[in-house]
């Protein structure tokens, strides 16, 4: 639940490798875009008025026809680039989706089916566009399965035994329990944060503020 991420005081974050993963050079891979990644993740939980304005200063157009509170579509005609944003757990009905994900049944849920259908429609509407899907937690899990050209996630939720693919950049905050099942994935990178042994840092570790100020872009 990303909207709770600012409850705890934040410190400076650095990308690191740890016992779970070698990690990727995420700063290099996420340095050529124009949209701030932290802002993009936060925007997925914003109200529609704010979402409709997001990215406009960078040439992205909010597709109101295809967007709702669960996912948003942005298109930049100059770059021919489509952004597909998927919100994480943000209402009571998502709890059932979270449980289905843990049981390996995410694709059976209405939440996934809605996102997949919307993304498919967006690809048909913008057929030549390069597509980037992104999200945190549950949103990251859904984004990883819609067959975008590239996927960027933060603290993505995993089913037991879940895997990542080569087109994914999955960032995980040390101490986050939601993304723990995917901590050993070879396409994952861990950044410093809280501790699994300290429950007081779990919420802080899970929120998108863990990458605030790092200059990552899409």
CATH number at residue 168: 3.40.50
- Could you tell me if 178 and 155 are in contact, meaning their C-beta atoms sit under 8 angstroms apart? yes
Termini Cα distance of the chain = 22
Q: Is residue 119 part of a domain?
A: yes
Nearest to 55, CA basis, from 112, 134, 169: 134
Q: Is residue 198 in some structural domain?
A: yes
Q: Which domain holds residue 85?
A: 2-211
Please indicate whether residue 185 or residue 65 has the higher confidence score (pLDDT).
65
**pLDDT one-digit tens code per residue, 19-34:** 334 456 888 899 999 9
Query: What is the model's pLDDT at position 48?
Result: 97
Over residues 122-135, the mean pLDDT reads 98
Axis-axis angle for helices 110-125, 93-102 (nearest 10): 90
Residue 166 lies in a domain: yes
Instruction: Give the mean model confidence (pLDDT) for residues 52-58.
Output: 98
Q: 39-56 burial string, b = 16+ CB within 10 Å, else e? A: ebbbbbbbeeeebbebbe
Cα 13 from Cα 214, distance rounded (Å): 8
Greatest mean pLDDT range, 5-14, 16-25, 45-54: 45-54
CA angle (2 as vertex; 199, 58 as ends), nearest 5 = 145
Task: Inform me whether the pLDDT recorded for 162 exceeds 80.
Answer: no
> pTM of the predicted model, to two decimals?
0.86
The answer to whether residue 4 scores a pLDDT higher than 90 is: no
Number of domains in the chain: 1
Q: Strand pairing of 81-86 and 71-76?
A: antiparallel
Could you give the percent of the chain with pLDDT greater than 90? Answer: 65
Average pLDDT over residues 26-50: 96
Q: Is residue 163 part of a domain?
A: yes
Three-state secondary-structure class, residue 16: strand
How many C-beta atoms lie closer than 10 Å to residue 211's C-beta? 24
Residue 11 domain-assigned (yes or no): yes
- Is residue 193 predicted with pLDDT exceeding 90? no
What's the mean per-residue pLDDT of the chain? 86
Pair of tokens at residue 19: 């016992």
Nearest 5°: phi and psi at 104? 75, 25
Task: Say if 218 falls within a structural domain.
Answer: no
217 inside domain: no
pLDDT confidence of residue 7: 29
Does residue 14 register a pLDDT over 50?
Answer: no
Cβ 115 vs Cβ 109: under 8 Å:
no
Is residue 12 pLDDT above 60, yes or no? no
Mean pLDDT within 121-132: 98
**Helix (H), strand (E) at residue 100:** helix 93-102
Q: Sign of torsion, CA 142 143 148 152?
A: negative
Q: Are strands 168-173 and 188-191 parallel, antiparallel or unpaired?
A: parallel
Does residue 216 belong to any structural domain of this protein? Answer: no
């Amino acid at each position: 639940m990303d909207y709770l991420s600012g409850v705890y005081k934040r410190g400076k974050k650095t990308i690191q490798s740890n016992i779970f993963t070698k990690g990727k050079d995420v700063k290099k891979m996420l340095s050529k875009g124009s949209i701030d990644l932290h802002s993009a993740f936060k925007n997925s939980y914003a109200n529609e008025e704010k979402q409709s304005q997001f990215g406009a200063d960078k040439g992205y157009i909010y597709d109101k026809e295809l967007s709702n509170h669960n996912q948003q579509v942005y298109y930049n005609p100059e770059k021919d680039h489509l952004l597909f944003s998927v919100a994480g757990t943000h209402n009571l009905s998502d709890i059932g989706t979270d449980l289905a994900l843990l049981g390996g049944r995410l694709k059976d849920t209405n939440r996934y089916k809605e996102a997949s259908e919307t993304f498919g429609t967006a690809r048909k509407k913008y057929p030549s566009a390069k597509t980037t899907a992104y999200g945190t937690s549950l949103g990251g899990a859904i984004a990883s399965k819609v067959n975008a050209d590239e996927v960027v996630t933060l603290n993505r939720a995993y089913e037991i035994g879940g895997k990542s693919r080569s087109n994914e950049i999955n960032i995980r905050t040390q101490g986050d329990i939601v993304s723990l099942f995917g901590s050993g994935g070879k396409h994952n990178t861990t950044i410093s944060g809280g501790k699994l042994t300290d429950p007081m840092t779990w919420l802080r570790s899970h929120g998108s503020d863990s990458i605030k100020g790092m200059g990552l872009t899409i």
